Amino acid sequence: MEKEILAALRSIEQEYDVKVLYACESGSRAWGFPSPNSDWDVRFFYIHRPEVYLSIDPIGVGKKRDVIERPIHNELDVSGWDLTKTLKLFRKSNPLLLEWLFSDIAYKEPYQTAGQMRQMSSSVFSPVSCMHHYINMAASNYRAVHKKENSKLKQYFYILRPVLAAKWIAERQTIPPFPLGSLLDALIKDKALMTAIQQLAARKTADEEGNGGSGITLIDAFLEREIEELRSRAASLKQPSENPTERLNDLFRQTLKEVWIE
């Protein structure tokens, strides 16, 4: 599939006259627990030619979209952000973008931009905003799962991973790892709970449907307890004091030079 992914990225570069700066896998494959029919969720960020940015209407205004999306085809889901949008979200410590940057499955990184963002990530990272993001995601998904009589197993991982990511931040105040297995190994000490989650992962990998089983009760208790506890812990964390805007402006200009001028 990697050949198809790289071909899709080259096609996007040609069609939109952009350069892909970084592309990675997101979603269940990056988490380490894909189902047999899981899509390939390819996410990237890109840059236009300099003259596109030298106009009275900036990227993202009117018809000048700051997103490129391709319809899902042959289990390939490809979408990306313009660098200006990317850096604005990076400035806000956007958790999704941070996950992309630290994905274990990178398809393309021909320029220095992503590496420089990783170097800056510890000073940009906001434990408070990222924790709130993950807690709200977990709580919303938990409510959605329990409104249905027979939710799909994979939906539990959209609760488990954000809970564990928030727990990692609460305990370490650093960017959590992307793979779910790394979070489980570091944070789950209860053997019965770990067994229940591993069994759930095995059932998901086998593409079973439904959420029955005794292990779900144990996992539910853990999730409910952690969501409430993490809400209170988030209030005690500090926001970063640095405003990185000028550094990000410099990075944007450096990228323009690296890609199109030098």
Instruction: Report the C-alpha gap between 119 and 124 in whole angstroms.
Output: 10
**Whether 59 and 166 share a structural domain:** no
Residue 60 burial class via C-beta count within 10 angstroms: exposed 0-12, middle 13-18, buried 19 and up? middle
**Whether 119 and 145 share a structural domain:** no
Tokens of 166: 């928030």
**Whether 70 and 99 share a structural domain:** yes
Output the pLDDT for position 151. Answer: 60
**Whether 74 and 131 share a structural domain:** no
**Whether 153 and 182 share a structural domain:** yes
Assign residue 254 the CATH number of its domain: 3.30.460
| Residue 145 lies in domain | 127-234
**Whether 147 and 197 share a structural domain:** yes
Judged against a pLDDT cut of 60, whether residue 208 lies above it is answered with no
User: Of all residues in the chain, what percent carry a pLDDT higher than 90?
Assistant: 61
Query: Could you give the number of structural domains in the chain?
Result: 2
Tokens of 181: 């297995």
| Cβ-Cβ contacts under 8 Å for 243 (sequence gap 6 or more) | none
**Whether 22 and 79 share a structural domain:** yes
- What band does 214 get if pLDDT is binned at 50, 70 and 90? very low
Q: DSSP label at 45? A: E
**Whether 120 and 140 share a structural domain:** no
Span 74-88, pLDDT tens digits: 888 999 999 999 999
Instruction: Report the C-alpha gap between 180 and 27 in whole angstroms.
Output: 11
Indicate the pTM of the whole model.
Answer: 0.89
Output the pLDDT for position 14. Answer: 97
**Whether 50 and 96 share a structural domain:** yes
**Whether 162 and 106 share a structural domain:** no
**Whether 132 and 230 share a structural domain:** yes
Output the pLDDT for position 241. Answer: 67
**Whether 110 and 147 share a structural domain:** no
- What band does 155 get if pLDDT is binned at 50, 70 and 90? confident
Output the pLDDT for position 38. Answer: 77
Tokens of 121: 């990530």
Span 118-139, pLDDT tens digits: 999 988 999 999 999 999 999 9
Output the pLDDT for position 121. Answer: 94
